[in-house]
Amino acid sequence: MVKKSIRILVAVLGIGLAGMATLAVGADKMKMVDPAKILKEKGVYGLYNTFKVQPSYSQLSMAERSKAVSEVEAVVKKHSKSVFVQAYLTRGFKSDSDFLLRMHSYEPADAQAFISDFSATALGRNSNVTLALIGVTKGLNHTTKDKSPDLLKALKSTPYSAGPTKYAFVIPIDKSSEWWNQSEAEKLMRMEEHTIPTLPFLVNVKRKLYHSTGLDDTDFITYFETSDLVAFNNLNIALHSVSEMNFNTRYGSPIVMGTIMSVADVVKALSK
């Protein structure tokens, strides 16, 4: 009877431990970064690194380069619980880079750990970083719901509706000391003047803003996606035509343009 009771107890404990293991696995899966969520939340860090592939990479054997995709994908998967990684092919668009990695994380150190591991891959070892930017997502500084309700309503009434995007642009922006020393009323007026001309283009150009003052050598990082390059050109002409542009000490330098692709497809394109 005692032995039977012990066997029952062991079985119950086994079931309990198995259940706990199942819950742990489920919890582990829940920790995966949700792309739709992390791209919309405030307080998220965005890091942009461009890379130039060195001639030494093409000197590797085809067998070595053919393993690059699985090697890089393994690193992306390893960090997928804390970092969301996107890739863009810049080769042919920029002379100083071949690809761009865009990373989002709740802690900059997590993205830094991903870059460290990526640098140990065959592609990473044979590529040089040519640009590194970091910024954080937060609420708008000036055109807030309380200060500019009509403009925010207009922004919400012109959502992107042009379908899948093909190209991305990264444009760092610096402001002059004259900008920062204006009154809040003056900055609000100029940002409203800045935003109104962009409204007609928001149906076919996506945009996202990161704040970088004190985190990097730039004040803002602007990120755009579109398939309509003429519309994007016209959007930039509209932005250059307002007085707020006079307070920029940097607009681009560089402007990074890339084709939106999966991480695997970017590595494949670079490994031919």
* 197-220 pLDDT, tens digit each: 888 899 999 999 999 999 999 999
Over residues 20-24, the mean pLDDT reads 46
Catalytic: 207? Answer: yes
Most confident of the ranges 144-153, 156-165, 260-269: 260-269
Average pLDDT score over the chain: 88
Distance between CA atoms of 252 and 239, rounded to whole angstroms?
13
Phi, psi (deg, nearest 5) at residue 101? -110, 125
Nearest to 188 by CA among 153, 148, 156: 148
The string of pLDDT tens digits covering residues 114-128 is 999 999 999 999 999
Over residues 7-12, the mean pLDDT reads: 47
pLDDT > 90? residue 28: no
DSSP string, 185-223: HHHHHHHHHHHGGGGGGTTTEEEEEEE-BTTBSSSEEEE
**C-alpha span between 181 and 158 (Å, rounded):** 32
Q: Which residue intervals of the chain are DSSP H helices?
A: 2-30, 35-38, 55-58, 62-66, 68-78, 108-118, 122-125, 149-156, 177-180, 184-195, 229-240, 263-270
Indicate the pLDDT class of residue 158, thresholds 50, 70 and 90.
confident
User: Is the pLDDT assigned to residue 139 strictly greater than 50?
Assistant: yes
Given the residues 7, 65, 102, 207, select the one marked as catalytic.
207
What average pLDDT does this structure show over 62-81? Answer: 96
Residue 194 confidence (pLDDT): 84
| 50 backbone dihedrals φ, ψ, rounded to 5° | -100, 150
Query: pLDDT band for position 12 (50/70/90)?
Result: very low
Task: Give yes or no for residue 195 having a pLDDT over 60.
Answer: yes
Which pLDDT does position 16 carry in this prediction? 52
Q: If pLDDT is split at 50, 70 and 90, which confidence band does 151 have?
A: confident
Instruction: Indicate whether 155 pLDDT > 80.
Output: no
Percent pLDDT > 90 in the chain is 74
Q: Is the dihedral of CA 141, 142, 148, 153 positive or negative?
A: negative
* pLDDT greater than 70 at residue 55: yes
Q: Who has greater pLDDT, 139 or 9?
A: 139
Backbone angles phi, psi at 43, to 5 degrees: 80, 20
